[in-house]
Amino acid sequence: MAHTPRKRFGQHFLHDPAIINRIVSAINPQPSDTLVEIGPGQGAITLPLLRAAGRLHVVELDRDLVGPLAALCREAGELTVHNADALRVDFCTLTTASALRVVGNLPYNISTPLLFHLLAQSHCIADMHFMLQKEVVDRLAAIPGSGQYGRLSVMVQYRCAVTPLFTIGAGAFQPPPRVESAFVRLLPFAEPPVLVHDEGLLATVVQQAFAQRRKTLRNALKGLFEEHEIRGLGIDPSARAEVLGIGEFAALANFAAKRRE
């Protein structure tokens, strides 16, 4: 499939057969799956996924890729192409008898907002497998106290179990990106690991806490909490957000929710 990668779409097309086989093996597509691929590009994993599952939804923004992709997959199974911006797609409308399995080589320039978009729909998603910038995967899996731990870590780990699977060198893509990539599995929880009364408040608390991550909590959360309120929850107001676990962020959010009652 001849196509010049477009920088504005963040296109880096996967072409390494060994990596493709490893990705498809990790996903392990089955005929009963409702599979959705985001950013199929030139069809490197689209074709083997479709052959294994028999049917596949793909979301592709670049309309110049739609026709060639359909032609490539014509004999492989039932391919449904959605020429759309993944950030605007209501993925839950694609569910049938089974929850969605979402896969993709996510454009690095929209990976974080796209992850948040999918997290908001995680109730209809069985699992997600993504190629991402390795730095992003490190942040997804980061633990409290590490330099990579931040807002993305907390909000994703509240919704999903995160399993980094393997790294992917730049040479596996055309054109090669300037960064190393990694493949990750996100498995949405049936129930979050901590009880949160108002998820919007949790998002607000986490975002403000990490907005200026070198600030102490007493300063970062000023306007949301008094210092004695933070201390009353067993949290040190002189600590920074990066040392708090999900349970402590949940305690802050739940306190704020109760105060609103």
Domains of the chain by start residue, with CATH: 7-188 (3.40.50.150), 199-260 (1.10.8.100)
Q: Say what the pLDDT of residue 19 is.
A: 93
N-to-C CA span, the chain: 59
- Is the pTM for the entire model greater than 0.85? yes
pLDDT band at 12 (very low <50, low <70, confident <90, very high): low
pLDDT band at 11 (very low <50, low <70, confident <90, very high): low
E strand spans, the chain: 13-14, 34-38, 55-59, 78-82, 100-105, 125-133, 160-168, 173-174, 181-188
Q: Is pLDDT of 5 > 50?
A: no
Minimum mean pLDDT among 8-12, 104-108, 150-154: which range? 8-12
